[in-house]
Amino acid sequence: MKSFPMFIRTTDRRVVIVGGGEQAAQKTRLILKTDARIILAAPRLEDELAGAVAQGTVEWSAGPVTLATFEGAAMAFIATGCPAHDAALHALATAARCPVNVVDRPDLCDITTPSLVDRDPVVVAIGTEGTAPVLARQIKTQIEQSLAPSLGGLAAFSGRLRGAVARDIPRARRRAFWAWVFNGSPRRKWIAGQEHHAITEVKSALEAGGTFQQEAKGSIALVGAGPGARDLLTLRAVERLQEADVIFYDRLVSEDVLELARRDAERVFVGKVVGAHAWPQERINAIIVAEARKGRRVVRLKSGDPGIFGRAAEEIDAAREAGIDVEIVPGITAACGAAAAAGLPLTERGVADTLVLATGMAREGAALPDTLRHTGPGTTTVLYMAVAQAPRLRDELMASGLPAQAQVTIGADISKGSQQILKTTITILPDTLAEHGITGCAVLIITWPAAEVTQQGIPAARPMLATV
């Protein structure tokens, strides 16, 4: 290492930022995350910095910068934008023995600012000694995905209990107690938004001298994997994958998404293909409950959003009947993924103020659903699992009054390498599907303009932003 990573205390200390432009504002935003006393040294300030001065969050020194400006400061940032001026100010800071960073001049930097993952008081700093800032940002993104946004709150709460733990829990039990707090049910409840329950559980264990109930009961998380691309998962979905002991996944979940799981997690494919249900729903219900009863953390990984045509209700009921904790982690549903890929708004003022999500399929042995009962002027209808029913749906829509030239967007294999985004009209929808060989994994987006728009003529189709 050419630079040693460390943390510098800022409480009751000054940080000097010389400059009044955008570069100085960038450093000010960074240091405002701390409790330092920030001194802006510049004859003039841009609007953002002037606003910070007016709010009292920083102090402004408009006079000359001298040796005294830097003396005793924890650190200084120099960002005047003038190379000669920056070099002269660097010499002053060095003479005052103040660690200094000169923006865009690595040769004049005693200190550098890393990429930060901020879960105050938990902070992760990533540096590459200036060699690869893009790589540092990529690493930051990966760490951001792996740490719950609320994790800092748990750390802060635990910090407030350190004195009580040292007083009330024998030394031999403390390590196990803290391991339980950060690896067991308190952490899971905290990052699931159940902070009050986590606090109550920890304080009860503390009052019992560090004795806590060992977790014999597992949990089930129904996790939405989104339409396909791994970077469309939520941070919470990634967290559950990295915590899981066993993952049950569908055929539409990509291998890239599964790679986000911890390496030693068991993976079980329970994919169902229309007409060939190797894993009937009842069997899936039974096995996820059985695994949770073993004390395992179970993830039921579903494409899209588990609550939208994902048969989540049956799995939730099975878990609750067994007394197993169950959680839903939402995902980006195919309607949103397809519309985004096509550059298409699902609602539009004056054209479509109602969004309908419907399916063209029914469970085995049941009659086909009345898919279009909510579709009419002023609606956008997104049809799932409806490709095979396209001729019937076209006829019903046109018989109900949908104009023959109404636009239909077809989204197939959304956000995957085989993605297709196609524009057609309702009249030739079945022909377009057949021509492009689309038979299964697709959604149909149909906008039926409001009556006054229809009278004026169907709006021209928007240009597509993504067609593969």
Q: Are 19 and 79 in contact (CB under 8 A)?
A: yes
Residues 6+ apart with CB under 8 A from 82: none
- Are the C-beta atoms of residues 256 and 229 closer than 8 Å to each other? yes
Element of type H or E holding 139: helix 133-146
User: Is there a catalytic annotation at residue 33?
Assistant: no
**Catalytic one among 86, 245, 250, 413?**
250
Residue 317: count of CB within 10 angstroms of its CB: 12
Q: Which two tokens stand for residue 99?
A: 């660690």
**Annotated catalytic residue, options 140, 217, 272, 416:** 272
CA distance 288 to 283: 9
Q: Is 370 a catalytic residue?
A: no
Residue type, 317: D
Nearest to 24 by CA among 56, 55, 54, 60: 60
Report which of 208, 303, 207, 307 is spatially closest to residue 251, judged by C-alpha positions.
303
User: Which residues are 436's β-sheet partners?
Assistant: none
Strands (E) in 346-428, as ranges, are 354-359, 379-384, 407-412, 420-425
> Helices in 192-252 by DSSP H: which ranges?
195-207, 235-243
- Quote the tokens at residue 34: 């701390």
How far is it, in rounded angstroms, from Cα 307 to Cα 333? 9
Question: Do 204 and 213 touch, CB atoms closer than 8 A?
Answer: no
Residue with tokens 């990984």: 301
Residue 122 amino acid letter? V
Torsion angle in degrees (nearest 10) through CA of 154, 156, 162, 165? -30
Helix, strand or coil, per DSSP, at residue 113: coil
Q: How far apart are CA 10 and CA 33, in angstroms?
A: 10
The residues annotated as belonging to the active site are 250, 272
